[in-house]
Structure 1
Amino acid sequence: MNGQIIQIRPETLRPAAQWETPTPDEIRELIRLTGLNGADVAAMLGLTPQGNKSGRGSRTVRRWTAGDTPIPYAAWALLAHRAGFGLIWVD
């Protein structure tokens, strides 16, 4: 990103039926806006069982931010709420 501000498109902040998948840049920006790091995002979303130190949840977050795997809507919506965009899943 090199310090540039990434705009999050309004199409990514809609209820699931009208939602457009965010780009990896948008995912990284949303995570930045939450103030969390990848491990914290994984923990917040329940991607790792408690006590599991394998890092698998963080790996999932890295796959989203690298564009290897699309982020699920539910995870995006919870992150958007945490970042201050409100309840995007409500019409």
Structure 2
Amino acid sequence: METKGSYGEQVSIRPECLCARKDWAEPNADEVRAALKMANWSGEELSRRIGVDSRTVRRWTLGEKPINYASWCVLCAQAGLGQIWMFSPL
């Protein structure tokens, strides 16, 4: 999946970020921001939906802290990327 990054460049979400936990690669900050955009959610909205502090989401989007798998699954589902916890790598 591709969307525009913070500087207008195309950002792809790597396939290894969209698979079951055992094969999962943590998404980088650009990928988290891209998924938020595809979900049409703000960081504040994501924080309310999953029960974390908005600072935590900000750290994910700035690359200061990796997003956890469960939170990433919720974000991907909302972004229309599917139920990634069910997927095996291609």
C-alpha distance in 2, partners of 1:45/1:33? Answer: 17
How far 1:65 sits from its partner (Å)? 0.8
Alpha-carbon distance, 1:58 to partner: 1.0
1:43 partner letter: R
SS of the residue aligned with 2:45? helix
2:63 counterpart residue number: 67
What do residues 17-45 of structure 1 show as CA deviations (whole Å, max 9, x unaligned)? Answer: 00001111001101111101111010011
1:20 aligns with 2:25: yes
Instruction: Report the TM-score, using the length of structure 2 for normalisation.
Output: 0.86
> Structure 1 runs of 4+ off > 2 angstroms?
none
State whether structure 2 residue 44 is matched by structure 1 residue 44.
Answer: no
C-alpha deviation, 1:75, in angstroms: 0.3
| Structure with greater strand percent | 2
How many residues matched?
82
Instruction: Report which of the two structures shows the higher radius of gyration computed on alpha carbons.
Output: 1
Aligned counterpart in structure 2 of residue 30 of structure 1, from 35, 40, 64: 35
Identical positions, percent = 40
The Cα RMSD (Å) is 0.9
What is the SS of the residue equivalent to 1:6? strand
Provide Cα deviations, 1:46-69, integer angstroms capped at 9, x if missing partner: 12xxxxxxxxx1100000111111
Q: Deviation at 1:5?
A: 2.4
